[in-house]
Amino acid sequence: MSNGTDGKVRGSGNGLALAIIACCQLMVVLDVTIVNIALPHIQTALGFSTESLAWVVNAYTLTFGGLLLLGGRTGDILGRRRVFIFGVLLFGLASLLGGCAQNEGQLLAARALQGIGGAIASPTALALITTTFREGPQRNRAFGVFAAVSAGGGAIGLLAGGILVEWLNWRWVLFVNVPIALAIAVLGRRVLRESERHPGHFDFAGALLSTLGMVSLVYGFIRASQEGWTDGLTLGSFAAAVVLLSLFVVNERRSPQPITPLHMFADRNRAGTYGIMLFLACAMFGMFFFLTLFVQNVLGFSPLRAGLAFLPISVVIAAGAGITSQLLPKFGPKPFMVTGALCAASGLAWLTQTDVHSTYLGSILGPMLLFGIGMGMQFVSLTLTALSNVRDRESGAASGLLNTMQQVGGSLGLSILVTVFGTASRNEAKQQVPAFLGVANPEQKALFLRTGQLPDPWGDLVLTSGVSSAFVVAAAFTLVAALIALFVIQVRPSDLARLQGTHAPTAV
């Protein structure tokens, strides 16, 4: 492999380097949804409630999102290849521990450790693109691949999870990461070029405050779904979140080298991009979570069939990302951001019509494809805009901030949607429980009193009511993203020139 005079990797090494980076991102991103497909089996095996089951997802995404900025900063200071490999290996170790878990606590601890590994590996992977590929068409294509993997990884994870759960068992959705992580680490050490180290220190206080603040906020929403909004622990969690996140902002303002460089928000387009990513992730994580439960529990799909049901969305996401990456230099990111958000909102609005009589072909496939096209447009546009015109020494922080918005938005959105789901489900249950008790035999009544779970068709009506209500709020999230894209994002001549590779870099 030869290096050009500008330090960018050239030749055949480019393709292999991109493949390694994309595989890492795919492993990290799909781990959210590959576990989703196994949730009903995990719930049965380890005794989770429906509301607490969300923590199997949130334990990962919260530590991932909360520590992404520290991970990106670590790569800038210690060298991105070195940090990238360490994060990948830690992710593999945590996956091994999670697959061996024997109770709720062990699984949640392993998922949190996975999040730490992902937070170290993912932002350095994205930053490695900026130090490997020339700005312009070459980097646009690389970002297009990265964005397609980021957006489509969720659907791929559902398919892979379905295959593993169907043919083996739920533990293999975690075990499968171990050989993949080892392969990425070995190849990455040989192929990826080490980046220049930049002097600095680690903002551990900022990382701790941001992570604890988000955990408190998410726990407050999930607690509210179980115990109500007036519960003392619910209110205490929200109060703690306000205090911790306020201290985080104060810390970032005073720190000479903050984990969140606030000047990143000075650029109007970059700030708007972060906001769009936050709201889109709020909707996307919830869509995968609730549709996975719906197709398995209401439509009766097996894990494998459920995974196959989500395969079309990964295809349209990849297609949308590929087309968008080709057209961006001509039109700029704004048209794709607005159109993509509106497509996603339309798909989610369509999903609000799901009920116990819905079918996959008649009610699920169409809105999924519409949502996927929108997300394919969005992820390429957001990635390029967020990392455009950033100093090389801060590319890790910039990429970490974008990934943070995705993961924190996903955790926060899922917790809000779980709260909406819980409230709507309880209201529907008040109507269905008397109907069930009126026709149930003594054995059915005894089982209900012991488990608290309504059998079908009453249970399906409760679940569907909650899912439909959650999609209403998810659609609202994507509409907010569309409004940000419409009124905040600007297409400047210098941005188009940079996308075309004809503008000299001038970092801010």
pLDDT in tens, 392-410: 665 656 666 777 787 778 7
pLDDT of residue 394: 59
pLDDT of residue 152: 61
Contact, 372 vs 313, CB < 8 A? Answer: yes
Per residue in 174-211, pLDDT tens?
Answer: 888 899 899 888 888 887 766 565 555 667 787 788 77
Contact, 68 vs 124, CB < 8 A? Answer: no
Judged by average pLDDT, the poorest of 149-158, 323-332, 432-441 is 149-158
Q: What residue has token string 């069939």?
A: 305
Contact, 157 vs 36, CB < 8 A? Answer: yes
Rounded Cα gap, residues 326 and 364, in angstroms: 29
Rounded Cα gap, residues 177 and 273, in angstroms: 31
Cα distances (angstroms) measured from residue 363 to each of 285, 348, 351, 357, 462: 19, 11, 7, 9, 18
**Exposure string (b/e) for 31-56, b if CB count within 10 Å is 16 or more?**
bbbbbbbbbbbbbebbebebbbbbbb
Per residue in 447-501, pLDDT tens?
Answer: 666 666 666 777 777 788 888 888 999 999 999 999 998 998 877 666 555 555 5
Judged by average pLDDT, the poorest of 28-42, 135-149, 236-250, 494-508 is 494-508
Greater pLDDT, 32 or 252: 252
As given in the structure block, the two tokens for residue 255 are 């720190």
Torsion of CA 271, 274, 278, 280, to 10 degrees: 110
- Picking from 111, 94, 88, the residue whose alpha carbon sits closest to that of residue 42 is 111
pLDDT of residue 378: 83
pLDDT of residue 479: 93
Please provide the average confidence, as pLDDT, over all residues in the chain.
Answer: 77
pLDDT of residue 5: 37
Contact, 200 vs 114, CB < 8 A? Answer: no
Rounded Cα gap, residues 82 and 506, in angstroms: 28
State which amino acid sits at residue 217: L
pLDDT of residue 402: 76
Q: Is the pLDDT of residue 76 over 80?
A: no
Rounded Cα gap, residues 151 and 140, in angstroms: 16
Rounded Cα gap, residues 489 and 337, in angstroms: 9
Per residue in 362-379, pLDDT tens?
Answer: 888 999 899 988 888 887
pLDDT of residue 507: 44
Average pLDDT over residues 316-333: 79
Task: For residue 342, name the pLDDT band (cuts at 50, 70, 90).
Answer: very high
pLDDT of residue 475: 93
Please tell me the pTM assigned to this model. Answer: 0.72
Per residue in 268-315, pLDDT tens?
Answer: 888 888 889 889 888 887 887 888 888 888 888 887 787 788 888 878
Rounded Cα gap, residues 336 and 397, in angstroms: 25
Task: For residue 1, name the pLDDT band (cuts at 50, 70, 90).
Answer: very low
Task: For residue 2, name the pLDDT band (cuts at 50, 70, 90).
Answer: very low
Q: Is 218 exposed, middle or buried (0-12, 13-18, 19+ CB in 10 A)?
A: buried
pLDDT of residue 301: 84
Tally the C-alpha atoms within 13 A of residue 114's C-alpha that lie toward its C-beta.
32
DSSP letter for each residue of 365-391: HHHHHHHHHHHHHHHHHHHHHHHTT--
Torsion of CA 243, 248, 251, 257, to 10 degrees: 180
pLDDT of residue 7: 43
Per residue in 8-66, pLDDT tens?
Answer: 444 445 777 788 877 887 787 777 667 777 777 887 777 676 666 777 877 887 777 66
Name residue 303's beta-bridge partners.
none
Q: Where are the alpha helices (DSSP H) in 192-231?
A: 204-227
Contact, 150 vs 126, CB < 8 A? Answer: no
- Picking from 195, 177, 210, the residue whose alpha carbon sits closest to that of residue 68 is 210
Rounded Cα gap, residues 184 and 194, in angstroms: 15
